[in-house]
Structure 1
């Protein structure tokens, strides 16, 4: 039998520290610990030394604590954050309740980003970068060494663009959306062109292409790049997105929040994973046989990149959608066949499916792009999702993303070190 919930408290009522502690079933010191973690807000008593607490907040925290005590964390100890943006279930994912693959294959990257930000479809949406921001970002990027990684370039460009925006500290929805629509094209324009530079107008995928490949793109190639961007806009609370929400919880401005995300994607288990898949795929294409390449990876103690995803027991829907679009590019056929051979060879022993990193590798190898191109595509695309999560977090109580450490060190008090 379930315990009955207490009757709702008066919405106008303030609780003393003692009353809040009794309702929560904790010591008074713990009530102030909740305040320091951002889980409760307090107000000083006029003319006194004590504090009062919003009865509704305390009641909500008490209910949450009871649920966690009864059922644990609910997800194997993982952090859970309420979001209206992306749902992943049954080998599919949805942006605001709409199938994300259908959105990505029917709409441009910019239109999908607008949908995620606002919940409204804006056909024909384009993003324009202010000339001042582009000039500042380009100068900063040009000062970096030639071997700088994509995340380095984009992080520096983001910081530089922030310095050119005096309104960056305005966290209102309209201001943050304005930042989103100018920052993303600024990042693309700041990247050095390797092919014929195009005007900084029109679809973002067209502007990004010449930063990734020297080849002249066909319509199918540009569509594949645009689809890849749209498929990668968001993917729930990935590691980089969580970093963005932590920054936004501390009320960092949108540029700083995006910088936090860019700092995380460099890891080989996140944004840089497509580069590893690119090199694997290129080795298979060069040797004409996946078996020795896969054997070499396993012998070296490395996992096979581009395979498996912890959120999808079956095939990653982003990979499936991108593979389908790549079939319209004649030059992609060898890479598509090699990717299929990699999956089939590995599946003899382990039932793994292709993930989006392998699909990105097919795109980058078949379109004459370097191994780092997938990381650039991922970062540019995900910037839209990061800003959507920052916007959502700005609407929450500040500093709520403050977990408690589980101390396992020496028991105090310890003597002072000599």
Structure 2
């Protein structure tokens, strides 16, 4: 249903943004509609304030197709009233602190130092299935055996031309953002937000992003069309060793989603405004480029290189601590123990001969911190750094792996958000400026 703006309400009601109940449209099972006055009574506000909630996206109204009145979902009004009472009572009245945003999702659950994709252990799933199949599971809840993603020639050519025009010093996120914009322009169906269309865009966008990145080594993609083989020559000049390729594929699958990280929240806000899938991926890349989100892998890579060059972790860790800097690659706010993604990657890296020095350096860093009573365990950034260092990749390679992998998760969250009420991601600001009226400057 399309929202309608600027229609006058009955009985002197103010302008509103609502949804009309079309002729012949049935109510949902168990749905109870109430009028404006009843909604105002439940909320403890004036009728005009009810429409302020509507304009902010906190309530949804429907216009009577015959009369001039509006109606509201009673359960939605009651939920808003409950939230308002909890916020007025303070943080002790709710498990969530005041102002904390909570978003319903059926994609990823994190609990007891494990995480799950649609209820399935994510580490087990990623260990047994390639990235493309894990992405399909996250998108549809169906495991598609042998899934492959193919870049349309027109989109790939447009993305490559756009990326080639960037300065040589451009970083991987710069290139990916430009590639997404070029691919969007090449897709005339990008504004179709139906699930089949969004999934079609996702299956073509991810290989387009990979194919638009410049090659740093000989392209040895093999004949199976796997995304990992397409990505490898964009990360490393070394031959794509099968065991190393398997670790890279595992990293992609493990990083597909991880609940509401900052970039994923940005994606859901964009999808709430009904931005097309290319735009929501751009929003995710924009947040990922922040130094507090996407740069951790690069920092961990450089730390491991320094440990290897200096022959030990102790002097390197000491310098970080003396400078008041956080040692990268350690600790995660969602896990009390070791990040399960790091555990899985370390186990897969163990048999790789070329990973031995970097793996030893990572363990030494964790050991030094443990001996000093810092209860921080390795996280996925440290494990990614072992992969990138041992396979001759650049420091920013971890960012590339993260961004490509997480694109699938961003699309999954966009699909979920497209099924929710539009513009619901609209928190209310708490004004702290000078009270009006103030003199003109």
The alignment's TM-score, normalised by the length of structure 1, stands at 0.93
State the structure with bigger RCO (CA 8 A, min sep 6), 1 or 2: 1
1:76 maps to 2:97: yes
Partner of 1:205: 228
SS of 1:246's equivalent in the other structure is helix
SS of 2:201's equivalent in the other structure is helix
Partner of 2:271: 248
Partner of 1:27: 46
1:76 and 1:56, CA in 2 relative to 1: closer, same or farther beyond 3 A? Answer: closer
1:330 and 1:10, CA in 2 relative to 1: closer, same or farther beyond 3 A? Answer: closer
Q: Is the 8 A contact 2:220 2:239 kept in 1?
A: no
Q: In the alignment, which of 113, 124, 127 is matched to residue 135 of structure 2?
A: 113
What displacement does 1:62 show? 3.3
Q: Is the 8 A contact 1:16 1:52 kept in 2?
A: yes
After superposition, the C-alpha distances for 1:242-285 in whole angstroms (9 at most, x for unaligned) are: 00000000000000000000001112221211000000010001
Equivalent-residue separation in structure 1 for 2:31 and 2:117 (angstroms): 37
Query: Aligned ranges for residues 19-418 of structure 1 at < 5 Å?
Result: 19-44=38-63, 51-65=70-84, 72-77=93-98, 78-198=100-220, 202-349=225-372, 350-417=374-441
After superposition, the C-alpha distances for 1:80-134 in whole angstroms (9 at most, x for unaligned) are: 1000000001110000000000011111000100110011111111101100000
SS of 1:347's equivalent in the other structure is helix
After superposition, the C-alpha distances for 1:340-397 in whole angstroms (9 at most, x for unaligned) are: 0000111222111000000000000000000000000000000000000000000000
Equivalent-residue separation in structure 2 for 1:63 and 1:11 (angstroms): 20
Q: Is the 8 A contact 2:109 2:259 kept in 1?
A: yes
After superposition, the C-alpha distances for 1:171-215 in whole angstroms (9 at most, x for unaligned) are: 011111111111000000000011112459611111100000000
* Worse-superposed segment, 31-40 or 326-335: 31-40
Equivalent-residue separation in structure 2 for 1:250 and 1:401 (angstroms): 8
SS of 1:88's equivalent in the other structure is strand
What displacement does 1:44 show? 4.4
Equivalent-residue separation in structure 2 for 1:21 and 1:178 (angstroms): 44
Cα-Cα RMSD: 2.0
Q: Is the 8 A contact 2:272 2:421 kept in 1?
A: yes
Equivalent-residue separation in structure 1 for 2:97 and 2:243 (angstroms): 43
SS of 1:210's equivalent in the other structure is helix
What displacement does 1:12 show? 7.0
In the alignment, structure 1 segments of 5+ residues that lack a partner are 1-8
Q: Is the 8 A contact 1:158 1:255 kept in 2?
A: yes
Equivalent-residue separation in structure 2 for 1:175 and 1:198 (angstroms): 31
* Worse-superposed segment, 300-309 or 200-209: 200-209
In the alignment, structure 2 segments of 5+ residues that lack a partner are 1-27
Q: Is the 8 A contact 1:11 1:55 kept in 2?
A: no
What displacement does 1:66 show? 5.0
What displacement does 1:298 show? 1.8
After superposition, the C-alpha distances for 1:206-235 in whole angstroms (9 at most, x for unaligned) are: 110000000002111000000000000000
Partner of 1:6: none
What displacement does 1:165 show? 0.4
1:122 and 1:45, CA in 2 relative to 1: closer, same or farther beyond 3 A? Answer: closer
Equivalent-residue separation in structure 1 for 2:334 and 2:43 (angstroms): 35
SS of 2:109's equivalent in the other structure is strand
1:12 and 1:117, CA in 2 relative to 1: closer, same or farther beyond 3 A? Answer: closer
Equivalent-residue separation in structure 2 for 1:28 and 1:267 (angstroms): 42
* Worse-superposed segment, 190-199 or 355-364: 190-199
